[in-house]
Structure 1
Amino acid sequence: MTDSAIAILDIDGTLIDSNYQHALAWYRALRSVGETYPVWRLHRLIGMGGDQLLAALGGDELENRVGDQVREQQRHEADALLAEMSPLPGARDLLLAIKERGHRLVLASSAQEDHVDVFLDKLDARDIVDDWTTSADVEASKPAPDLLHVALQKLGASSDASSVMVGDSVWDVKAARKIGMPSLVVRSGGFGDDELREAGAAAIYDTPADLVKALDDTPLA
């Protein structure tokens, strides 16, 4: 991919170190309605959209019984942890490096709009990226590929445009794979390399900073 491409980057967990805070927020939200699940099980689902997480965790019965209530409480719990969520090493440098190579750049997130605003400020990214998404843009979140379609549409690009996904979870990789988009992954999601490769990851890096160093060996050269 030597011509200009579109880079679609996940924010939560990929650029911002937030996965474990989100797992704790879900844990606390579930406890507030009398439901206790091991934090490790919640962590394994972080990166999947909140509209799908509870059904994946406890089945449709859990979703139907407490879904809306838990999601609302999770937002409050996550709000209280926002100050602890910081950019991962090299996160902003990665955005700059992608733009310096002439690619277009969309930050794709299914987070709430106010959280995305905070993350954009933490990254000082508003003047770098071409556009971004929030939970308001899609009905079905990852691992459904809807968010990636919306990210392309934000730039007026078709689904067969030259594009690359950068994420941190198997849910990012699976969403990209569903529409034939290659994916580069950082390890901050806490998934094993074997899981990420089985899901379809093209390459895996420790941090965004490591991806910056290797960028010329990727489809975003």
Structure 2
Amino acid sequence: MPRHHAGDLRKGVLFDVDGTLIDSAYLHTLAWWQAFRQAGFDVPMARIHRHVGMGGARLVDSLLPEGRDKSLDTEILAAHAGIFGTFWPALRPLDGARDLLAQCSEGGLAVALASSARDADLQALRASLAADSFIHAATSANDAERSKPEPDILIAALAAIGVEASDAVYVGDAVWDVYAAARLGIPTIGVTCGGTSEAELREAGAVEVYSGPRELLDRLRDSAIGKLLAG
């Protein structure tokens, strides 16, 4: 467990997981693509990828025709979950992810995973990350009524570590992460390792953009996280 209790820490960092700490954004894209095809919908992977990071129900509703038989949505969500589950053995942390969490935690910041993943997927992601000793709290889709770009999951993560939005930074790979954090006034550090470009992340409002956890870790002192550590 972390050396500090979250309640004793005044500042914190929230992390998205899929595509930010774990190299799984394209695995989700493939899982959704297959789930849609099983239901008779041919959705290009490029369109799917641009929506990865939303909650599942919102993603389905955004990508499929409005006049569809919506009774199929539950089947599509279940199919995605089943297909993505077959990829669990292939999950790998992105370079520097564990060390980044360790540096934040050991520097005296509360660390929370703010993910829209299902509970089962989040457990698989955390097992791949192998960094629980540096994580104070983690939230999943079950902790939010509305998914990104709504800020519910971030609100739950802040509450779990007892940190105010004004004392937090968020790290994410999708524009949906940036939009969600902006609604709470939380600055977002973007990472391009999930497949979203620096230009898109900056246009969405990211205050900084790095190629991935390793570059952020290497430049941590000069980053928005570094300002929290210095304060």
TM-score by length of structure 1 reads 0.94
| Equivalent in the alignment of 2:105 | 99
Name the SS of the counterpart of 1:8 in structure 2.
strand
1:18 alignment partner in structure 2 = 24
Distance 1:139 1:171 in 2: 16
Shift of 1:63: 7.2
Give the structure 2 partner of residue 79 of structure 1: 85
Counterparts in 2 of 1:19 and 1:172: CA distance versus 1, 3 Å:
same
**For residues 9-61 of structure 1, what are the alpha-carbon distances to aligned partners after superposition, in whole Å with 9 as ceiling and x for unaligned?**
00111000001010000011111111111111101111111020011112433
Compared CA separation, residues 42 and 201, structure 1 to 2 (3 A) = same
Look up the equivalent residue of 1:82 and give its one-letter code: W
Q: Deviations over 1:114-141 (max 9, x none)?
A: 1111111111122211010111111211
Q: Report the Cα offset of residue 4 of structure 1.
A: 4.9
Q: C-alpha separation between the residues in 2 aligned to 1:57 and 1:188?
A: 23
1:179-213 residue CA offsets vs partner (Å, 9 max, x unmatched): 11000011012112221111100111111010001
The reply on whether 1:208 has 2:213 as its aligned counterpart is yes
Q: 1:52 to 1:39 in 2, by over 3 A?
A: same
**CA 1:116–1:36 in structure 2 vs 1: closer, same or farther (change >3 Å)?**
same
Distance 1:114 1:181 in 2: 28
- Give 3-state SS (helix, strand or coil) of 1:60's partner: coil
Q: Aligned partners of 1:108 and 1:198: how far apart in 2?
A: 22
Q: How many residues align?
A: 218
Counterpart residue number, 2:12 = 6
| CA distance in structure 2 between the aligned counterparts of 1:132 and 1:59, rounded to whole angstroms | 34
Distance 1:20 1:154 in 2: 29
Residues 54 and 62 of structure 1 are in contact (CA less than 8 Å); yes or no, is this contact kept in structure 2?
no
**CA RMSD after TM alignment:** 1.5
Q: Name the residue aligned to 1:173.
A: 178
Q: Match of 1:121?
A: 127
TM-score, normalised on structure 2?
Answer: 0.90
Sort the Cα spacing of 1:137 and 1:19 in 2 relative to 1 into closer, same or farther, 3 A: same
Matched to 2:96, the amino acid is: G
- Alignment match, 1:183: 188
Among candidates 48, 58, 63, match of residue 52 of structure 1? 58
Unaligned ranges ≥5, structure 1 = none
SS at match of 2:134: coil
Misfit runs of 4+, over 4 Å: none
Instruction: Tell whether the 8 Å contact from 1:5 to 1:220 is kept in structure 2 after alignment.
Output: no
Distance 1:136 1:104 in 2: 21
Identity among equivalent pairs (%): 38
SS in 2 for 1:88: coil
